[in-house]
Amino acid sequence: MRKGSQNEEEAKHVVSLTQLQEVPSRRLILLIGPPGSGKSTFCHQSVISNIEMKPVIYVTTESAPSEVQESLKQGGLGEEFPHPLGFVDAFHQTVGLPSADRPDTMEASSEDLTSLSIAISKSRERMEENSLLIFDSLTSPYLMSGSEILRFMRTTLLKLAAEGNAVLACMDEGCGKEEDLVAMMSVADGLIKIEMDTDKRLFNVVKYPKLRPTRIEVPITPPMGLDARTYNEALLKQFILAQLGGEETTTRGETGDYVNLFWPNLARWSSMLWDPKRFLKVTYELNKDDYPSMFRLSKKDKDVFNTIFPRRFRLMLKFMLPKNLNKVKNMKKLLSRRARTLIPEKVGIIEYLDDASKTDEHVVRVYENFDCWGFENVGTTMAFHLPPFIAGMCEALEYWKGLERDWNAVETKCVGLGDPYCEFKLVPGEIQELKASLEKDSSVIERIHDRLMDRLMGFLLERKPLIERPRLGSDIHLHPVWHTMALPAQAGQRFRTALRMGGAKAGKEVGERLMKAGISKDEAVKQLLNLLEYCKVGKVTMDETIRMAQNCESFWSKFWYTPEMKEPSCFFTTGFLNGFFSAVKNQHVKETKCIAMGDPYCEWEFR
């Protein structure tokens, strides 16, 4: 073959993203990759690439149709479409959010594969010709229904493709059993795997109709930093005074400022199923940044500093705090003082091990750590509040003295590994083993989630103790609860969705287990209300609506918030209620009032 002809032949096999996004008819293409790798963006571009040729039906399970439309608009799609664009909204009903009444949208629930099939079928009937169906994504239905998703793919998605339509479906890698993902890949006619590198995405085309296997590299822009918080200075001062004085705060009135530690742990590990590779990493960074963000604001605005911090604390920072925390004697003095101020929070009993510590490497032991208690021998480290929180405290205090450097902490012993207590290493700079400790395999998360569910059903059905620590008891202060449930929501929509979906899955499972145990519907609802009261989630009443005063999840907004968060912010609670009532009474709820919006209580309506 002549050289010119060979080059022409090779050029025919140069594949672009645009070619991949023009999904062929009668084919099911599966797009898989880790959470946040760009699968939804690929789907949005596929709409733009195909709507010139055929109608598009967009199934959204983790975002609102309006958010998809806004992304399409930013991508260059105008107001008028050459062909119809319809939606199946399987997001709002699943997590209990109010949805807009839209003529182009059918509603369904990710918890109910039958409702999804019916909604897709009705949407297809509206179109006058064969369409492109985009399913973004299969992750939530899979985590709700398990391997039943394989039957759904065969009876709904493959059937639709066989009828002459094109189908593009997404699935998060690492969010389920490996054998289920392999089975899903084997069903598809085409398979694209997204891999992430430091500065690029790699689209690995494993198989695709009429195309050779290939790889496409696409550069990515580094993510923006987290938004700064706005503080309620008066409430923060009240809170800090109580902490420094070793007193108990009373910001929630008659409900009290303590919550059963089971509730935030249920929220964390249920939500983790939606993003096992990033959820803990983001939580770690946010926990670590709590102190530094407040100190940066205080250094920028001395009036804020003088308002928030009492005079004795300002004097301590000026005259008693060492310039750096390298040395053992300096860290021992600091942590002895800090351990006393953490007593009201009941997060754990802290002991600084000066004999095991050395310059630039400190060892801290924690007894009865709230992160880990009750998870004995689950096979992984569990502490994700105190290690980064204390690392951030060290970073903030040195910053105040003019030394800017990073601090980190990693757990080396843990109740979750079978140890009788937890220990973590605290150092300035990076820790090589930290990254691996923040990524959990989905099977480990499922094991932890099952442990939580078994303990919860033992409490509901047999009145077994929910959780109890020998010296600290079962409750922790609102402050670590906010770190567990509210801080991840600041990291963006993906993590708010994880909280919502995690709540929906947990609530649905509780409802299903109660029904399976032969509990009546009304008795199951009574059990739910008793659980919320026992865990001190808030002050709950129920008649025509569910009303919760002083909800621990949204009450944080009275202390600090970010501008985009002035919306209903009971992400996990709403999902939990919605999942529970859908399983028990085939009802859905939506939050119509929220403390975060300035309402005196949070309220959910039935529909």
Q: What is the pLDDT of residue 591?
A: 87
CA 403, CA 324: separation in Å to the nearest integer? 7
| Helices 386-400 + 279-300 axis angle, to 10 | 20
Cα gap 581→511, rounded to integer Å: 7
Domain extent listing, the chain: 17-219
Residues of the chain short of pLDDT 50, as ranges, are: 1-14, 222-227
Q: Residue 196 forms beta bridges with which residues? A: 201
Burial class (CB in 10 A: 0-12, 13-18, 19+), 1: exposed
Give the 3-state secondary structure percentages of the chain, helix then strand then coil, rounded to 5: 50, 20, 35
Interatomic CA distance for residues 555 and 594, integer angstroms: 9
- Region for 463 from its dihedrals, namely left if φ exceeds 0, alpha if ψ lies in -120 to 50, beta otherwise: left
pLDDT tens-digit series, residues 79-93 = 777 789 999 999 999
- The pTM of the full predicted model, rounded to 2 decimals, is 0.83
Distance, CA of 173 to CA of 184 (rounded, Å):
11
Q: Using an 8 Å Cβ cutoff, are 398 and 437 in contact? A: no
Q: Among 161, 71, 145, 68, which Cα is nearest to 112's?
A: 145
Residue at token pair 């095991």: 356
Estimate to the nearest angstrom the gap between the alpha carbon of 92 and the chain centroid.
17
Amino acid at 365: R
Candidates 577, 571, 573, 413; CA nearest to 511 is 577
Contacts of 302 (CB under 8 A, 6+ apart): none
For residue 205, the SS3 value is: strand
Q: Can you name the CATH fold of 17-219?
A: Rossmann fold (3.40.50)
